[in-house]
A and B are shown apart, each in its own frame.
Chain A
Amino acid sequence: MTSRLAIFATAVFLMLFQHSATGHHSFAVEFTVEETAVIEGVVAEVWFKNPHVRYYIDVTNAAGEKDRWDTRGSSPSLLVRRGWTKETISVGDTVIIKGHLGRDDKRLLSIIGIDLADGTKLGAHY
């Protein structure tokens, strides 16, 4: 069941985000397909521009310090077709982001899905 869910999530991810691989450069170079992570934090910066949408997220670590994560989505022109606009996520919003981890232990995520504080689910759930 878990593997079916994983396959389904992967399929949806590809439908929504494959352009980040096909449109610009290879997902495989920077991200791992096997390793995913979930982070919860506050949006510090919104970059809603090509070649990739980015949300910079401040995550409080175990020591109480803030780590900044670079999370990446698709290109704006592909997202806005699905109603995901620059205004969908704003600086100061609390978000939970699931994504594929960047290689080399970077604080880097390729977004699979985002849960907003009001319960809205974007990405894999979108």
Chain B
Amino acid sequence: MNDSAEQIAQTISRHAVAHPKRDAIIFLERGEAETERVTYEELEARVASYAAGFESEGLGGRVVAIAMPAGPAFISLFLGCLRAGAIAVPVPLPDSDRSTQRVAAILHDAQPSAVITTKSEVPKLVAIAGTIPVFDHELLLGSNTSAPCFTADRPALIQYTSGSTRAPKGIVITHANLTANQQMIREAFGLPIGVIGATWLPHFHDMGLIGTILQPLFLSGTAIVMPPRAFIQKPIRWLRAIARYGAHTAGAPSFGYELCTRIIGPDDAAGLDLSGWQRAFCGAEPVRANVLELFAQRFAAAGFDEKAFVPCYGLAETTLITAASDPGQGLKVREIARGADAPRRYVSCGKAVEGSTILLRDEDGREATVGEICIGGPHVSPGQWDGKRGEVVPFDNMLAENGETYLRTGDLGTFIDGELMVVDRIKDILVLYGAKHHAMDIEMSALDSHPDIRAAAAFAVDDGQRERLVVLCEIDCRKLATIERPAFTRDIAKHISEAIGVLPTVEMIAYGDLPRTSSGKIQRFAAKTKFLSGVWGVSNVNFGAANSPASDERSEQT
């Protein structure tokens, strides 16, 4: 590890000296009018003050959960936490049953020394946190002290990634990981110093925090920030912010672009000026060619240049980004036929970013044309957080080769003309509306919903626009003949929707019909293939014939 690398909180200090009056953050609380502007000088003062508060409360070097709404206070607090050498665990605000469960599960796993939140949220967090002390962030503002000295290989933050509430997984990102990946993003996107970015992505997730908040700050630029809800409620707010502030870079998962095209009509689109938007990155879930093409078409009249698209690939275990298309290239779409299935269109995610190595390997670790994407480089996390022991545990899915280690991502990819195409997911994680969900959580929720359900398989099916959740539930043959199917499936769908926030298509099948391994484990991938083949005679008409899953060239793990 490189101990001399400047850490992100120190970078802010440098910018505050060089550009004290430049705007670091512009916050649009409802996505429209400006609610707060923070210059680098002001940001530096707040960061230093929070850092002092962490130290005086004895939290320097400790794990600290941060449950804050989007905005400058969260950003200052997060950077103050890092400057004090504390390890930040960004979590959502517990504003629904689901987020409350998630925060509780994260706190249980991470075992932080404190939870920092806003005054109004303190009672709610106290109820969740149990014996962990909960602080109002305003009481943490202290007087400036000197920055502590710590090495770059120390953890800076723990990123809880998957939507799993039963088995949350905290990815440890070191200060060196953060700095390395900031540099990678900058080079891959070709971003200028002083860049302006506009974002609505959740600040407690890697893409929002690392890609859209820290990146402009790393480059002494300006982050235009609005909460996710402001965008989802009126997607045009994001595009208006891009136009109004002349944002050079802004991005989202495919779902964000799809929502813009769905909600914003041609007349409203034509009233925007998006000609300054140079880097429209897209990642975090499969990059969909048709969604981005429609977006480019709809917003061409607003001056949007389709060459601005930068499809990219990454995951929390690699801090954020690991591959990206060349800036200015736009979409490169290829048809790939896999097995006996009809060819499908895939978007190139470009080359490995500078400093990152991508290998494709089969299950036995041999080179493969279509294989599991394995990643090496200084942006790869050292492992997972073990809160009970208070230490980092290396990932068990590492590939060792020629003295180097590579992270096995669980994603299946291939190279065409040296560019990465992500063709499928091996791991059992579904991405719906940009949020990750563990298949197991959804299946457990189905099992909890009714005692007659014996087993379940959850998977996502592409309907051409987005991923739709399908849950197949097995019940006894005799019961299957007597139940009133519409009401039964509706109740189960409702139960799952309440648990995860996404309404699934539920289908009932006879017990024993789901494909299983020899050890009895449900094979979700094979179940999806069987579902799409129509063999059960259940409704898959909504998903279209083009949605064949990747062929079963590999066997599922037993």
Do chains A and B interact in one complex? no
